[in-house]
Amino acid sequence: MTGPVLRGPILRGIVTAMPETVSENADMAASFGAETMAKIVAATGIERRPVTKTHTVSDLGAVAAERLLDGLGWERGSIGLLIVITQTPDYPLPSTACVLQNRLGLPVSAAAFDLALGCSGYAYGLSVASSMMAAGGIRRALIIAGDITTRMISDSNRSLAPLFGDAVAATALELGEAEIAFDLGSDGSGAPYLISKTGGLAEPGAPELFMDGTQVMAFSLKQVAPSVARALEAAGRTIDEMDYVVLHQANAMMLRTLGHKIKARDDQMVYAIRDYGNTSSTSIPLALSDHFGRVGARDEVKLLLCGFGVGWSWSTAVWRTPWPAVHEIVRVP
């Protein structure tokens, strides 16, 4: 689905919260061998990852949202929409959005719901929020995106344990004169290649992540570039006009390959993989939090955001918005 340019929401701020505990991939040499870990780090670009055994999405999401709202000086009663994007909810029910609505003290008039999406979830959430804000006159909204993926992976899983990190990001949106266009798609035939078969009603038990990396790469090379092209065409822009290109932070090799394929310049590409790993639905807002803190502010910024993965599912947003007033990364004990 490719949509026309919308009167999009303004990006007012992003705060990402992550556990202060960090797992160094080099330390896994004792379990998997020094040569094996050196190859994994060289191929993925991932040196360390935030990990937790205790935090939930609502724990980290509440910290991020509180810091964001306080930084902006927004009253809780001004929030009309809360969307939580996660595949690792606190409970099967109620939704984590309802948990956070109460925890944050948001008004009962606010719509609050979850989107069960992973790596593609952030731009999907932006699409839903943009449409609801434009159609319903919602002035302010929060998107909470995050997963505690490491709880689905055994420490002995050599293929996956060095790749994933835990984090949750809060994004503040305000109705305004920004512009945004989207391309969204899905192909459920890819479900068996990136899946937790256990943990639901079909196969009860503890969730356990499985990933076929070869199939993930093949899917990404097939779908990302066409999605980017469609979104740019819908926005009436070219890749050269984008200030920053933020792709899902799966691994450094994939980012470099896809960046070349979509003809993005090196100075446009945003990398936030080395110190955080693959943080699923958090990876795009985390990369923005990290990058905005490293570069000088400007009046406005043109962003190309593209997420892709589990589902198969993909989403691209082309967004012209004022520079966010708040951008921060918080470490949580």
CATH code of the domain covering residue 323: 3.40.47.10
Q: How far apart are the first and last CA of the chain?
A: 41
Q: Could you give the CA distance from residue 104 to residue 300 in angstroms, rounded to a whole number?
A: 29
Q: pLDDT above 90 covers what percent of the chain?
A: 95
From 119, 251, 306, 327, active-site residue: 119
Contacts of 180 (CB under 8 A, 6+ apart): 5, 6, 8, 9, 126, 130, 235, 317, 318, 319, 320, 321
pLDDT bracket for residue 137 (50, 70, 90): confident
pLDDT at 211 over 90: yes
Contacts of 59 (CB under 8 A, 6+ apart): 332
Task: Annotate 5-32 with DSSP letters as a single string.
Answer: -EEEEEEEEEEEEEES-EEEGGGGHHHH
Q: pLDDT above 70 covers what percent of the chain?
A: 99
**Which long-range contacts link 129-133 to residues 24+ away (Cβ below 8 Å)?**
129/9, 129/81, 129/83, 129/173, 130/6, 130/8, 130/9, 130/180, 130/182, 131/6, 132/81, 133/9, 133/81, 133/173, 133/175
Mean predicted lDDT score pLDDT of the chain: 96
pLDDT at 121 over 80: yes
Q: Which CA distances in Å does 214 have to 192, 217, 322? A: 13, 5, 39
Q: Could you give the CA distance from residue 143 to residue 242 in angstroms, rounded to a whole number?
A: 23
Q: Which CA distances in Å does 165 have to 17, 148, 272? A: 12, 8, 12
From 25, 55, 278, 306, active-site residue: 278
DSSP β-bridge partners for residue 11: 173
Q: How many CB atoms lie within 10 A of CB 239?
A: 16
The pLDDT tens digits of the residues spanning 48-77 come to: 999 999 999 999 999 999 999 999 999 999
Q: Identify the pLDDT of residue 2.
A: 78
CA angle 170, 172, 176 (to 5 degrees): 160
The pLDDT tens digits of the residues spanning 253-268 come to: 999 999 999 999 999 9
Q: Could you give the CA distance from residue 139 to residue 78 in angstroms, rounded to a whole number?
A: 8
The pLDDT tens digits of the residues spanning 25-53 come to: 999 988 899 999 999 999 999 999 999 99
- Is 0.85 surpassed by the pTM of this model? yes
User: Is residue 1 a part of any domain in this protein?
Assistant: no
Active-site annotation holds for 98: no
The pLDDT tens digits of the residues spanning 228-245 come to: 999 999 999 999 999 999
State which amino acid sits at residue 26.
Answer: A
pLDDT at 88 over 70: yes
Q: Identify the pLDDT of residue 183.
A: 97
Of 320 and 29, the one with more pLDDT: 320
Half-sphere exposure of 162 (CA within 13 A, CB side): 26
Active-site annotation holds for 119: yes
Q: Identify the pLDDT of residue 191.
A: 97
pLDDT at 3 over 80: no
Q: Identify the pLDDT of residue 8.
A: 85
Helix ranges, the chain (H): 29-32, 34-44, 57-72, 96-104, 121-136, 213-235, 252-261, 283-292
pLDDT at 7 over 80: no
Task: Annotate 254-300 with DSSP letters as a single string.
Answer: HHHHHHHHTT--TTTB----TTT-B-GGGHHHHHHHHHHTTS---SE
From 248, 251, 306, 327, active-site residue: 248
Taking alpha carbons only, the member of 223, 39, 18 closest to residue 119 is 223
User: Is residue 53 a part of any domain in this protein?
Assistant: yes
pLDDT at 81 over 70: yes
Tokens 């070349």 belong to residue: 260
User: Is residue 141 a part of any domain in this protein?
Assistant: yes
Q: Could you give the CA distance from residue 234 to residue 283 in angstroms, rounded to a whole number?
A: 24
Q: Identify the pLDDT of residue 4.
A: 65
CA angle 317, 322, 326 (to 5 degrees): 100
Where in the sequence is the domain holding 185, given as residue range(s)?
A: 6-332
Tokens 């006009």 belong to residue: 241
User: Is residue 236 a part of any domain in this protein?
Assistant: yes
- Total domains in the chain come to 1
Active-site annotation holds for 327: no
Q: To 10 degrees, what angle do helices 252-261 and 34-44 make? A: 30
